[in-house]
Structure 1
Amino acid sequence: MGRWEPDARGRLAEAAMALYRERGFDQTTVVEIAARAGLTERTFFRHYADKREVLFAGSRRLQELMASAVADAPQSAAPIHAVAAALEAAAAVLEDREFARQRQAIIVANPELQERELIKLASLAAAIADVLRRRGVTEPAASLAAEAGIAVFRVAFERWIDETNQHDLSALIRESLGELDAVTAGR
């Protein structure tokens, strides 16, 4: 190993993403990721529990951000509007479209990662529904609003990472919420 260089976590993430794209997720080892980053395997495990965590490291922070946005929405807000605040908060932190495209391509190519992504989305919905219930929203409205919000997010996100789409994620979320409103109003 050479002289110490800063941002080990960032370098590990960058190396992992490059190797996942070049070789595929399953064919990439932690040892290879660490070597590409100029670090040790031990350093990798100081920053990530396993190689999947490179792709899902921000999940906990995103969940906390979205739950806080729902909690902070005006008490008079309809459940779906409180959820919309959470979606907007998520859009504000998801700025790197190219990284999101690459991450999604890696996930789509691997059934284990697809399952992990679905678990992450289900956890987001559960956290949002929990906050809605604490705001006094009864069931099934709390769960329906949370699940609908995650569906809106997924649709908007897929549109956002589409290479031909130039709209920002917030605009696509608003459009998708409008489409959901139209569908539920029977228009």
Structure 2
Amino acid sequence: MVRWEPGTRERLQAAALDLFVSRGYDRTTAADIAQAVGLTERTFFRHFADKREVLFGGQELLEQAVLDGIAAAAPDASPLETVQAALEALAPHFPAERRPLSGRRQTIVAENPALRERELLKSAGLATSIAAALRARGVPEVTARLAAGSGVAVFGVAIGVWVAEGEERSFLDIQREVWEELVAMTAVSR
């Protein structure tokens, strides 16, 4: 069996996505994933706590990028400007070559209720972290929560557009367009 080749985690992830698409998430085991790339199940568990982590691993990297974006925002930036800076800090995590992988991931998550729930929990956790960082900048509670929720919504919509079949624009361009749509909607007078 091939054991310590470079890119083991990425090979496991690619094999898992292929199997999740062809067999279904629930009918694929960690052993199946490892076997598909010539590794042992034990090696799989060195890289992932469980098969869900193939789809949800890396959350801490995205959250850190968002928090770094908030920290780097101008001190006098409004709460929404601060969240916009945080979202812009995510763009490097979504290069064009990652689009096919992200698209397959989105399809797998959408087809499984337990994974959709996990995705929602992940989004809620990100919103909580953003709101806490905004409060640390002196933003009032309700404003912080609204700004954080808006940012997470923009991120979610942007991902969905970015992975759509035939889409070629960069993640950053799409995210900016979705942000502008949010701003335009909130600017409408009552």
Q: Give the AA of the match of 2:168.
A: Q
Q: What do you get for the CA RMSD once the two structures are aligned?
A: 1.3
Aligned: 1:15 with 2:15? yes
Query: Using the alignment, how far apart are the partners of 1:82 and 1:124 within structure 2?
Result: 15
Gaps of 5+ in 2: none
Superposition deviation, residue 165 in structure 1 = 2.4
**Any conservation in 1 of the 2:68–2:89 contact (CA below 8 Å)?**
no
| TM superposition score normalised by structure 2 | 0.94
Percentage of pairs with the same residue: 49
Distance change in 2, residues 1:14/1:184 (3 Å): same
Superposition deviation, residue 2 in structure 1 = 4.8
| TM superposition score normalised by structure 1 | 0.95
Aligned: 1:180 with 2:182? yes
Number of the residue aligned with 2:100: 98
Query: Using the alignment, how far apart are the partners of 2:145 and 2:4 within structure 1?
Result: 49
**How many corresponding residue pairs?**
187
Number of the residue aligned with 2:158: 156
Query: Using the alignment, how far apart are the partners of 1:153 and 1:62 within structure 2?
Result: 11
Query: Using the alignment, how far apart are the partners of 2:140 and 2:73 within structure 1?
Result: 17
Query: Using the alignment, how far apart are the partners of 1:166 and 1:11 within structure 2?
Result: 25
Question: Which whole-Å deviations, capped at 9, do the CAs of 1:115-143 have from their partners, x for residues lacking one?
Answer: 11111111111111111000111110001
Distance change in 2, residues 1:181/1:60 (3 Å): same
Distance change in 2, residues 1:3/1:151 (3 Å): closer
Query: Using the alignment, how far apart are the partners of 1:23 and 1:183 within structure 2?
Result: 42
**Any conservation in 1 of the 2:34–2:41 contact (CA below 8 Å)?**
yes
Superposition deviation, residue 155 in structure 1 = 1.4
Gaps of 5+ in 1: none
Superposition deviation, residue 22 in structure 1 = 1.0
Query: Using the alignment, how far apart are the partners of 1:84 and 1:27 within structure 2?
Result: 40
Q: Give the AA of the match of 1:172.
A: I
**Any conservation in 2 of the 1:91–1:169 contact (CA below 8 Å)?**
yes
Number of the residue aligned with 1:168: 170
Query: Using the alignment, how far apart are the partners of 2:153 and 2:142 within structure 1?
Result: 16
Aligned: 1:73 with 2:73? yes
Q: Give the AA of the match of 1:17.
A: L
Q: Give the AA of the match of 1:43.
A: T
Partner SS state of residue 62, structure 2: helix
Q: Give the AA of the match of 2:130.
A: I
Number of the residue aligned with 2:145: 143
Superposition deviation, residue 172 in structure 1 = 1.4
Superposition deviation, residue 145 in structure 1 = 0.3
